Structure formats: structure tokens, C-alpha cells
Amino acid sequence: MYLEHFGIKELPFSLTPNTEFFLNMASYHKAYNMLMVSIANKEGFIKVVGEVGTGKTMLCRKVLNSLEETPGAFVTAYIANPVLSPKGLFLAFAEELGIDADTDVGHHSLLKRITKVLMQHATDGRQVILFIDEAHAMPEKTLEALRLLTNLETEQAKLFQVVMFAQPELDEMLRMKSLRQLLQRITFSYKLETLDREGLERYVSHRMATAGYNGGSVFSSSALDDLFKASGGIPRVVNILCHKALMVAFGRGERMVEREHMRKAIEDTEGVVLPGRRNIRQLAAASVLMGAAGVALLVYLLTFYLN
């Protein structure tokens, strides 16, 4: 791989949400602060929305890591795949709380056991927070069951908080009349923005430096211009294209990622097109279609004149 070639210790653009690479830029800084303040104030429902690849899971893990730095103060539960039935959600939450429950346990019995554990945490001064990633994938009935579950409370406060990370589809779901009560429960909400051109350059430099690089800029300005146009400032797409561009430069024995390297990476990536330029795969497909159309026309004409 290109690690030694560029003088870095680890892959700088891995798709794994490693919080060591977290960049505290404006949008993420505001979202992080909102989450930490809302958690400190023991607000009920908190929602963070962002398009695919904007770093929601990275932000979620950053908050989880921050809470772990205060031992004994917080109990966190994390559900990564919430495509569950209402009972499935309760079972997943129970498992995260350390409750051993069989799948055939009765709903009432399961709820009593969850309540007992939550009450004990509250008595001991521990704050319970349920983090749900990909919340937009939750079925409507499961979302409503989650709202009903949060009715568990003492005279002073709710027994646990809910932090949801989701794509914009969740906002569409919450506009449904059947979920209006859940919508009213959301006290704080934030939308993650994509990177602007300046932010993208900082993002790329930060990840290279975090990976161990200590030289000048590896990516030329023109390469970054194309990167921004093709990625739309979405961090996940930026990571994919930068990784491929570094591989192209390495394969050619060059230590600077130039525009031609970036364009090669863009052309090699499904679903990514540089505005004003058609992807090579698209051009190839178009050529095949035009060729097929030409053959079909020729066959038709020959058939017409020979009959």
C-alpha cells in the first residue's frame, strides 16, 4: 500500500468511523456542543439529521467516548440497527442495560425489568442515555413504542434520554399525523451540513496529519477543486476519492496528488461524476447503446429493402 510512500503510519481515509480523526469543524462543533448540553440538561428526545455519509456515526461515537470519560455518571445504550419490532426494540434496550431476557418473555414482564433497572440507576445518580443510529429505518410502530417507553419517569425527571441519528427521511416520517406526539417530544434538533471548499481542504489535511504525515500539502489545489465538485463535500465520498487518488499517485511513483490522479479516482467510482464531465463508464455504456441502436437500424433497413 502507499503508507511508506507518503510517510504515514495508517490509512488516512478509512471508512471506519475512527474518532481519532474527528475534526471539530463548525457544523460538527455545534452539533457536538448541542448534544453535550442537552444531555447535561437531561432533555428528553434529541435528534441529529444528516445526509448519507456526513459523519453521523462518527459524531455519535465521539459523544459516547466523551461520556465514558466521566466514569459512573452515565449509562449508555447503543442500537446500531433499529429495524426492529416494538418488542425487538425493548429486548435490544434491555440487553444494552445488562438485562438477560429471553425472546419469549412477556411484554409486561420485560417492561417491569427495564423499569426496575432504570429506577436503580436513577437512585444511584446515574444518567441513562439510549443512542439510536440510523433511526430513519425504524418502523412507524417501533417509533411510537419508543415514545411510550420514555413515559417511564420519576416525579423529577425521565428515567432515560433518547438521542437519534438519522437521514432526512426521519423528518418526513415525523410529519405523519400518527407520530405527532413523538415530534412534540423532540426538544433539540440539529442538521449536519456538508463540507464547503475551505472545510474540505482542512478535512483532508487534518486526516493526513492524524495519520502521521508531516510534510507540505499532498493534494494540489486543482485536485481539491475537482474533489469538492465531485464529492459535494460529503465526508464519506471524500474519503473514498482521496484513498483512490493516493493509490493512483503511488502506482505512478509520484508524491503529489494532481488533478489527473483525482479524475482517475472519480472515473473509477460508481455514482460519482465530476460536473461538466461524463464518467468514462457512462461514456462506455452510451457507446454500447449507440452501437446496439445502429445495428438494430441496419437490420431493419436490410429487412425492409430485401422484402
Digit-by-digit pLDDT tens for the chain (307 residues) are 799 999 999 999 999 999 999 988 888 999 999 999 999 988 889 999 999 999 999 999 999 999 999 888 999 999 999 999 999 999 999 999 999 988 888 989 999 999 999 999 999 999 999 999 999 999 999 999 999 998 887 767 789 999 999 999 999 999 999 999 999 999 999 999 999 999 999 999 999 999 999 999 999 999 999 999 999 999 999 999 999 999 999 999 999 999 999 999 999 999 999 987 654 444 444 444 444 444 444 444 345 444 5
Tell me the domain boundaries of the chain: 3-17+195-276, 26-191
The one-letter amino acid code at 207 reads R
- pLDDT at 227 (0 to 100): 97
Number of residues assigned to the chain: 307
3-state DSSP of the chain: CCHHHHCCCCCCCCCCCCHHHCCCCHHHHHHHHHHHHHHHCCCCEEEEECCCCCCHHHHHHHHHHHHHCCCCCEEEEEECCCCCCHHHHHHHHHHHCCCCCCCCCCHHHHHHHHHHHHHHHHHCCCEEEEEECCHHHCCHHHHHHHHHHCCCECCCCECEEEEEEECCHHHHHHCCHHHHHHHHHEEEEEECCCCCHHHHHHHHHHHHHHCCCCCCCCECHHHHHHHHHHHCCCHHHHHHHHHHHHHHHHHCCCCCECHHHHHHHHHCCCCCCCCCCCCHHHHHHHHHHHHHHHHHHHHHHHHHHHC
In contact, 61 and 149? CB cutoff 8 Å: no
- Counting Cα atoms < 13 Å in the Cβ hemisphere of 166 gives 21
Q: Could you tell me if 47 and 136 are in contact, meaning their C-beta atoms sit under 8 angstroms apart?
A: no
∠ CA 35-38-39, nearest 5°, is 85
**C-alpha–C-alpha distance, residues 173 and 177, integer Å:** 9
126/120 Cα distance (integer angstroms): 9
Calpha distance 261→225 (Å, rounded): 13
Which amino acid belongs to residue 164? M
The CATH architecture annotation of domain 3-17+195-276 reads Orthogonal Bundle (1.10)
| Paired residues of 189 in beta bridges | 47
- Give the Cα separation of 132 and 80 in Å (integer): 6
* Confidence (pLDDT) at 116: 94
> Is the alpha carbon torsion for 70, 74, 78, 82 positive or negative?
negative
Give the homologous superfamily in CATH for domain 26-191. P-loop containing nucleotide triphosphate hydrolases (3.40.50.300)
Distances (CA, A) of 114 to 29, 45, 152: 34, 19, 10
Cα separation of 113 and 289, whole Å? 62
